[in-house]
Structure 1
Amino acid sequence: MRLDKFICKCTDLTITEVSLIIAEGKIQVNGEKITEPHHQVHASNQVVFDQKVLTPRPFRYYMIHKPADTICSNKDEHYPAVFSLTNIPDTDQLHLVGRLDADTTGLLIATDDGHWSFNIMQPAGKVPKTYQVQLHRPITKEAIEQLEKGVMLQGEKQPTAPAQIEMINEKQVLLTITEGKFHQVKRMFFAVKNKVTALHRCKIGGLSLDIPEGAWREINKKEVEQ
């Protein structure tokens, strides 16, 4: 973690105040004075400020049920920011894991644990994400076979990883993928000559969405491990 962010997590100082005390040489890491805010701090490092060893607050993990016509941001823009629908404290210290388009609903994860969120989203982690997909026209057997084998998306050099398809009805399916390319679900169905008319994420890894639209809750320790 960056030194400035580490200090913010250990204190009530703002990022501006933290930058100032670092520049003034008031921070020591393992006994060495550090004046670079981007300096990387690891779990084994000892960070001292004002003769006190700094200890970070516990990481925070939240589930949010994103409504349509909201954006994955801390600030309102053309659409309201999803964080503005919650009273989660200090959302400026959080980031969203796996952003959704404005018109897409469903499961969002908010956290300040960058290492954990990186492991969820990197393709090598192969963490499954499940979406309920409403389609413009009935899905064909051939399209299902293509998606389960992997399809080539426009602008990509490699086909998508094999997906899992579960039929709900002829125009609605559950799609499970382990990647997170830009607009991937919509592009996958475009590649098989169909169009997504509604998209809802219902699961990430072992975490299933279980709260009403617009609601949020903390993710417990067992769920974090899943």
Structure 2
Amino acid sequence: MKLVRLIANLGYGSRKEVMQLFREGRITDAAGEVLYTDDKVAHEDVRIDGEPLDPPTGLVLLMHKPTGYTCSRKDAGRLVYDLLPPRWRRRDPALSTVGRLDRDTSGLLLLTDDGALLHRIISPKASVAKVYEATLARDLGGGEGELFASGTLMLESETTPLAPAQLEVLAPRRARLTVTEGRYHQVRRMFAATGNHVDALERVAIGQLALDGLAPGEWRALDAAGVAKAFEPTVPGGR
């Protein structure tokens, strides 16, 4: 791929704007030598104003989504994309969230521009484990674990039962729930089906991927080994 197109696709500007960066001598190699549009240079050796290029296509991010942010590009208010460098919203192909967490749910969120990977993770056939910790309005009744594990629970307005899910009681009003599906507001609706209400909800893991100390609003890029952890089964305790 030619340098102009590469840099434009990373969101640094339109092709016309990127051409201006070349004319101003702001695009160089790692040694500081000015580059020209027809030069052939490895991605990792290109600099703009002395800074390395943003990661190439195939980017996968792990974010600690705060409450109050939505995963849509169009909703009013705060969006998870606002937590990334502004030019990353102009990348082509675009970054997308891997599934969604609603506005009031916090925790582990993946974003990627790799469409095949996105669909592989969210596909029901993949049975990727998602682990949530819920704070409830009322004490657990004691029968939720058996119900969730039965594979017979039918959510309101749906026609197929949920796949078995694993419940771990953390306190009278706190629970860790591992699901392998991604239905609309699934965890909240599961507890609603038992007559309870989720006051706070956080996703703490996907497979063996965890937040590992990321503060709300922070993110990090994943390498291939990190991505592979999303497909590993969880261990007792949800980690």
Note if contact 1:130-1:201 (Cα within 8 Å) is conserved in structure 2: yes
Note if contact 2:145-2:168 (Cα within 8 Å) is conserved in structure 1: no
How many pairs align?
181
Residue 58 of structure 1: how far off its partner (Å): 3.8
Q: Secondary structure at the match of 2:226?
A: helix
Residue 88 of structure 1: how far off its partner (Å): 6.6
Note if contact 1:74-1:91 (Cα within 8 Å) is conserved in structure 2: no
**Counterpart in the other structure of 1:187:** 189
Deviations 1:134-164 (A, max 9, x none): 1111112212211111311001111100101
Amino acid at match of 2:97: L
Separation (CA, whole Å) in 2 of partners of 1:117 and 1:197: 29
Amino acid at match of 2:176: L
Q: Secondary structure at the match of 1:62?
A: strand
Q: Secondary structure at the match of 1:189?
A: helix
**Counterpart in the other structure of 1:31:** none
Note if contact 2:129-2:178 (Cα within 8 Å) is conserved in structure 1: yes
Q: Secondary structure at the match of 1:90?
A: helix
Q: Secondary structure at the match of 1:145?
A: helix
Runs of 4+ in 1 over 3 A off after TM superposition: 8-11
Calculate the TM-score normalised by the size of structure 1.
0.73
Separation (CA, whole Å) in 2 of partners of 1:206 and 1:98: 17
**Counterpart in the other structure of 2:220:** 217
Separation (CA, whole Å) in 2 of partners of 1:106 and 1:88: 22
Separation (CA, whole Å) in 1 of partners of 2:184 and 2:59: 26
Identity of aligned residues (%): 38
Assess, with a 3 A threshold, how the Cα gap between structure 1 residues 127 and 86 changes in structure 2: closer, same or farther.
same
Unaligned runs of 5+ in 1: 1-7, 19-56
**Counterpart in the other structure of 1:40:** none
**1:34-183 maps to which residues of 2 (within 5 A)?**
57-74=56-73, 77=76, 79-87=77-85, 89-92=87-90, 93-150=94-151, 151-183=153-185
Residue 98 of structure 1: how far off its partner (Å): 1.6
Amino acid at match of 2:184: F
Q: Secondary structure at the match of 1:12?
A: helix
- Quote the RMSD (CA, aligned, Å): 2.5
**Counterpart in the other structure of 2:8:** 12
Separation (CA, whole Å) in 2 of partners of 1:158 and 1:115: 26
Separation (CA, whole Å) in 2 of partners of 1:9 and 1:130: 40
Unaligned runs of 5+ in 2: 16-55, 230-239
